Chains A and B, each alone.
Chain A
Amino acid sequence: MSEFALSQTQETFVMNLGPQHPATHGVLRVKLTMDGEYVVRAEPVLGYIHRMHEKMGENRTWAKFLPNTGRMDYLHALAYNHGHVMAVERAAGIEVPERAEYLRVITTELNRISSHLLWFGAFVLDLGGFTPLLYAFDDREQILDLLEGVTGSRLTYCYYRFGGVYNDVEDDFLVGTKAFISRLRSRLPMYHGLVTKNIILIKRLKDIGPIPPDMVTRYGATGPVARGSGFNFDLRKNEPYSVYPEFDFDIPVYTECDSMARYMVRMDEMEQSMRIIEQAIDKLPEGPVKAKKVPKTLKPPAGDYYCAVEAARGSFGVRIVSDGTNTPYRLKLRSPTYSNLSLFEEASEGMLLADALALMGSLDLVIPEIDR
């Protein structure tokens, strides 16, 4: 159908989707060349919220960059915290106490669930269903309350420190987390009944926006986008870090390559994250939450270090080049959504506008993370 439409092309027009548009969820601008309602070319234009995070990192001490990490992917801030502290710990050779690692896993997985919940709501909003957004926010609110009690903030967390976490958790937090998990377990079937099994939604997602495996490898897409195209790739399993090897969980993989597959991957991931949190709470060891010998002025030995974590949107990598001073010589961040967005131009070719927006929603874009 789309090939036919493209062969009929006689006249196209350029339409700006964004930088202010309800479907881009931020300040992304997509320059659309349209033929009627068909997208001939979709060219993402970036830079509207560029804040030079990498350069900032090179101009301040290692610890002072920590709050910046929570301001890139503000929806899964703790994973970004985690990536940075892990890279610096690896560079400086700091051992992290086991309890701190467990707390990192619990909080980062909670944060992952909250990120997926928000994506779920926003995605269905893109498809024109308003109500699921507020149901998802209702659940997400519980997570924010839990994390606020531990970290002190609700969105742009800065909880991890080099060599541990900022402070220990109270028992309330663990009890509340368990209560939340049982609550979400009872709510997920409702989401599936209301949204996943809805015939309109199935028609809008099934076979829409295919991302074949070779496109995933060419653009370096990761996270749910890759797992929805049949790649069993998750850094928590493939390059285990922290204490993830101690937990029993599955990586949801779908081979359909369409928007529905990416949707299902994220819905299943929430269940897996709940499994991880439950096991982590049960196994949570006693002990300190901060390493004892962390120098106040950190000066990692000169060298080149790389560390990657699995964030909600894919692999987040931190590369630091240290010259032995108290600031990094070079800080390079690899953010997953940047690669995931890059394939949009090729994948959306010849699609209808509404389908292209469904595809864009299924990529789960967070713009401040693309622009950094």
Chain B
Amino acid sequence: MNPIPEVLRLVIYLTCLILFAALNAAYLVWVERKGAGHIQRRIGPKEVGPFGLLQPLADGIKLMTKQLFLPAGVDPVLFKVAPILLLVPAVMSFVTIPFSETLVARDINLGLLMIFAFASVNVLGVLIGGWASNNKYAVISAARAVSQNVAYEIPMLITVITMVMVTQTMNLNEIVMQQPNIFKWYVFRFTASPLMPVAFLIFFICSLAETNRAPFDLAEAESELIAGAYTEYPGMGFGVFFMGEYANIVIGCAVTTILFLGGWQCPFGLAPGWWWFLAKLYLLIWTVVWIRWTYPRVQFYALLNLSWKVLIPISLVNLLLTGAMIKVF
């Protein structure tokens, strides 16, 4: 059936996914800088290449040529392992993301579960990186990152359970197929639960917090903790962390798109394909950038209060309501 041998297929997918993650990381930085420039009434990068398009390349070369300096007192093994621990789970999560009906590396039944399993690993990268750095700012940052991730994983997973109850599957491609047009997108599926838009919002807020993005960027709050867990990282150590961060943002937005916004399906049922998926994905990513350059940072206890006192009760109510609706109708 399959004209391409399995091994070759694997290699092609692996190369493409790593390339996709790396290119995204590089060009999301460019988007972020250009976007920030646009929001702040300045130009942003413009010198290297047309519209500064080669700037990420220049940054990459700069990072790669820097010495991988080990500061005194760091744990040499953990210090080097930490960035990889952040990046690898993020890239692994791409494996199950359906870019279109056929364009998916591994169309497995438990795709959703796998993504969230990997998503809880990457906080380990920040924790180990902060701990191994032998820097007080980094340790504070690591502690913040862990408690933040624990707090926000709960409402996020409750929302995911709600979604699984509604969709009755964990296969991402099947979830997408259930949403052929805009009225059947889960964000507007009021027949499943009247709180669906709220669930979408909770999920999006949680994915902002999980990926350490503003206004929840407490782990690398530069006016408090300098660069947080990444303070001591030189050159590509920092670069890999950075790539992991952006890969996580892409994953977060991709899962949001698949669960709520119909993935690769067209809003009007026309020509479904990967272009729709990417359009929705980058729209969400642009929203993330937009939020970052608009809001100040929340306090740490406000962040935890928001999760424990607001998001968790609402998502629990949503879970019960959805369960009741499934039982009744």
- Encoded as 1 (CB less than 8 Å from any B CB) or 0, chain A from 129 to 154 comes to 11100110010000000000000000
Assuming the contacts A135-B41, A200-B215, asked whether A130 and B36 have C-beta atoms less than 8 A apart, the reply is yes
Are A128 and B223 in touch, CB under 8 angstroms? yes
Residues of chain A from 101 to 138 with CB closer than 8 A to chain B in the complex = 124-131, 134-135, 138
Interface segment among B65-73, B163-171, B293-301: the answer is B293-301
A126: chain B residues at CB < 8 Å are: 223
Is B224 an interface residue when CB atoms closer than 8 A count as contact? yes
**Residue pair B224, A354 in contact (C-beta under 8 Å):** yes
Contact pattern, B 97-140, Cβ under 8 Å of A = 1, otherwise 0: 00000000000000000000000000000000000000011001
Q: Is the CB of B137 within 8 A of A128?
A: no
B140 touches A203 (CB 8 A): no
Determine the interface band of chain B, counting residues with CB < 8 A from chain A.
Answer: 20 to 34
Q: Which listed segment binds B: A15-23, A58-66, A228-236?
A: A15-23
Interface membership of chain B positions 203-244, coded 1 if the CB is closer than 8 angstroms to chain A and 0 otherwise: 000000000001101100111101000000000000000000
A354 to B221, CA, bound (A): 9
Q: How far is the CA of A170 from the CA of B299 in the complex (A)?
A: 49
- Whether the Cβ atoms of B302 and A138 lie closer than 8 Å is no
> Known: A354-B221, A354-B224, A357-B223. Is A127-B136 also a contact (CB below 8 A)?
no
A142 to chain B, nearest CB (A): 13
Q: Are B295 and A198 in contact (CB-based, < 8 A)?
A: yes
Q: Does A353 contact B (CB under 8 A)?
A: yes
A134's nearest neighbour on chain B, judged by CB, is B40
Query: In the complex, what distance in Å separates the CA atom of A34 from the CA atom of B226?
Result: 17
Which residues of the partner chain A approach B302 to less than 8 Å between Cβ atoms?
Answer: 200, 203-204
Contact A128 to B40, CB < 8 A, known contacts A198-B295, A354-B221: no
Give the chain B neighbours of A194 by CB distance below 8 A.
294
Nearest chain A CB to B304's CB is how many angstroms away?
Answer: 12
Contact B215 A128 (CB under 8 A): yes
Task: Enumerate chain B residues within 8 angstroms of A22, measured Cβ to Cβ.
Answer: 222-223, 226
Residue from the list A36, A131, A201, A353 in contact with B224, Cβ < 8 A = A353
Give B61-80 interface residues, CB cut-off 8 Å to A: none
Question: In this assembly, does B309 line the interface, its C-beta being within 8 Å of a C-beta of chain A?
Answer: no
Cβ–Cβ < 8 Å partners of A37 in chain B: 140, 143-144, 300
CB distance from B312 to the nearest CB of A (A): 19
Residues of A within 8 A of B327 (CB): none
A355 on the B face (CB < 8 A): yes
The size of the chain A interface, using a CB distance under 8 A, is 31
Say if the beta carbon of A352 comes within 8 Å of chain B: yes
A4 CB-CB contact with B under 8 Å: no
Q: Does B39 contact A (CB under 8 A)?
A: yes
CA distance A127 to B299 in the complex (A): 9
Q: Known contacts A128-B215, A131-B39: does B222 contact A204 (CB below 8 Å)?
A: no
Contacts of B214 in A (CB 8 A): 128
* B140 engages A134 (CB within 8 Å): no
The CA of A99 and the CA of B183, in the complex, are separated in Å by 71
For A204, the chain B residues whose CB sits under 8 A away are 296-299, 302
Contact residues in B for A131 (Cβ distance below 8 Å): 36, 39-40, 293-294
> Which chain B residues border A21 with CB–CB below 8 Å?
226
Give complex CA distance A138, B222 in Å: 23
B292 nearest CB neighbor, chain A only? A130
Q: Which residue of B lies closest to A133 (CB)?
A: B40
Can you show 15 pairs from A to B with CB atoms below 8 A apart? A13-B136, A23-B223, A37-B140, A37-B143, A128-B214, A128-B215, A129-B294, A130-B293, A131-B36, A138-B41, A200-B297, A200-B302, A204-B302, A352-B301, A353-B140
- List 4 extra interface pairs beyond A198-B295, A200-B302, CB under 8 A: A21-B226, A22-B223, A203-B302, A354-B221
Residues of B within 8 A of A (CB): 36, 39-42, 136-137, 140, 143-144, 214-215, 217-218, 221-224, 226, 293-302
